[in-house]
């Protein structure tokens, strides 16, 4: 698994320590083990998890600005846990409404010694941020409209950003942004060994 991860990382500009690589692999091991009972992800093969979960998450790392982030609808910790491993100086609140997922996240936090994550069980619209976040991140969570509707109270006014990890560019969703929110930028992403479209949509308040 370490060789596989290193071959994937070699196709990026990310520079990780051996400890970070080992943490990523330990996370995949836990995801694979817990998946059998908890059904956390439809991806069953650990090597595919490296591509579809680890690389697909950390590819957005260079484009995040700030140090306090919330991963809404994090599920089993994606993209929050891989990003927390590669950004040890940032803090990630991992929000999910399902208890079994949050239970898994707490176990990951304990076993991997991740001091920069905070798993929280809550519906996103009921969660009160103190203070607001630099960035609100979502991956396969909802439409842009739903994300903005449910998460509008989470980022810092003006300088806070919404980061939506998308597959095919959601042109129709982008054409229907609500008043007060504008498109900052769209970044096409390349994920090693993944022959599918990926885009990072960054939105901001105006």
Binding residues for S-adenosyl-L-methionine: 73, 78, 124-125, 139
Residue 153 contacts residue 129 (beta carbons within 8 Å) = yes
Specify the DSSP element, H or E, that contains 94.
strand 91-96
Residue 162 contacts residue 151 (beta carbons within 8 Å) = yes
Distance of CA 97 to the CA centre of its chain: 16
* Strands lying side by side in the sheet with 181-189: 117-121, 91-96, 68-72, 135-139, 161-166, 198-205, 181-189
- From CA 162, how far away is CA 66, in angstroms rounded? 12
Q: Which residues are annotated as a binding site?
A: 73, 78, 124-125, 139
């Amino acid at each position: 698994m370490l060789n596989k991860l290193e071959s994937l990382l070699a196709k990026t500009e990310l520079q990780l320590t051996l400890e970070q690589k080992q943490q990523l692999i330990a996370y995949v091991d836990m995801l694979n083990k817990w998946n059998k009972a908890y059904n956390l992800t439809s991806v069953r093969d650990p090597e595919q998890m490296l591509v579809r979960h680890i690389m697909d998450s950390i590819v957005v790392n260079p484009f995040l600005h700030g140090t306090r982030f919330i991963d809404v609808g994090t599920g089993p910790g994606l993209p929050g846990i891989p990003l927390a491993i590669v950004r040890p100086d940032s803090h990630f609140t991992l929000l999910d409404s399902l208890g079994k997922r949050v239970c898994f996240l707490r176990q990951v936090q304990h076993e991997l010694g991740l001091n920069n994550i905070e798993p929280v069980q809550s519906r996103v619209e009921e969660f009160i941020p103190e203070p607001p976040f630099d960035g609100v991140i979502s991956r396969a969570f909802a439409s842009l409209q739903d994300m903005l509707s449910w998460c509008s109270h989470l980022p810092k006014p003006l300088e806070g950003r919404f980061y939506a990890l998308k597959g095919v560019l959601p042109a129709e969703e982008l054409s229907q942004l609500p008043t007060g929110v504008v498109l900052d930028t769209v970044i096409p992403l390349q994920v090693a060994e993944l022959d599918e479209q990926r885009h990072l949509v960054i939105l901001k308040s105006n």
